Amino acid sequence: MSENTFSENARRRCREIMTRNVKTATREMSLREVAALMRDGDMGSIPVVENGKLVGIVTDRDIVVRAVAEGRDSLTAIGDVMTAEVFSVRENDFVFEAIRLMGDRQVRRVPITGDAGELAGIIAMADIALETEDEREIAETLEEISSGTAFWRKG
């Protein structure tokens, strides 16, 4: 990614590129219900909320590793297998913070919260890629985030 493009994207706020209408789950929903939401929405993760506040996230990997591999029933509550340690950024943070978090934590999606911890949206790698016009830069950025080689650490 060129310095100019990176600098331009880094100055944008998360609220400018995040997806706002995010499908969510509650802790009480079953594995089957959440898996169906993922299938129907073509999503790999769903934020878990309680009273509007982000309390976790469940990924397709969580379902496979923490549920199926352990022989859990499809009616198991998603709260039993979700990732409770959620890394998020605020909607007024710079996009750079979301990119850095993706690289540092090796995640492809970052929930965006408001000042009171309420879920405001989500930013996926694809959202960031769409903001970068040069296809070569998109490919490099996605590869760096996926591989863990953070472009902000390059010398």
| Residue whose pair of structure tokens reads 């878990």 in the numeric block | 48
What is the predicted pLDDT for the residue at 129?
A: 73
What is the predicted pLDDT for the residue at 107?
A: 87
What is the predicted pLDDT for the residue at 4?
A: 56
What is the predicted pLDDT for the residue at 13?
A: 92
What is the predicted pLDDT for the residue at 144?
A: 66
What is the predicted pLDDT for the residue at 6?
A: 52
Q: Count the Cβ atoms, other than its own, within 10 Å of residue 147.
A: 10
What is the predicted pLDDT for the residue at 154?
A: 45
Q: Which among 38, 21, 20 is positioned nearest to 29, based on CA atoms?
A: 38
**Average pLDDT for consecutive 10-residue bins of the chain (155 residues)?**
56 90 96 96 93 93 92 95 94 91 89 93 84 57 60 47
Strand partners for 13: 94
What is the predicted pLDDT for the residue at 12?
A: 87
Domains and CATH numbers, the chain: 3-147 (3.10.580.10)
Per-position b or e across 27-48, b if 16+ CB within 10 A of its CB = bebebebbbebbeeeebebbbb
**pTM as predicted:** 0.77
What is the predicted pLDDT for the residue at 151?
A: 47
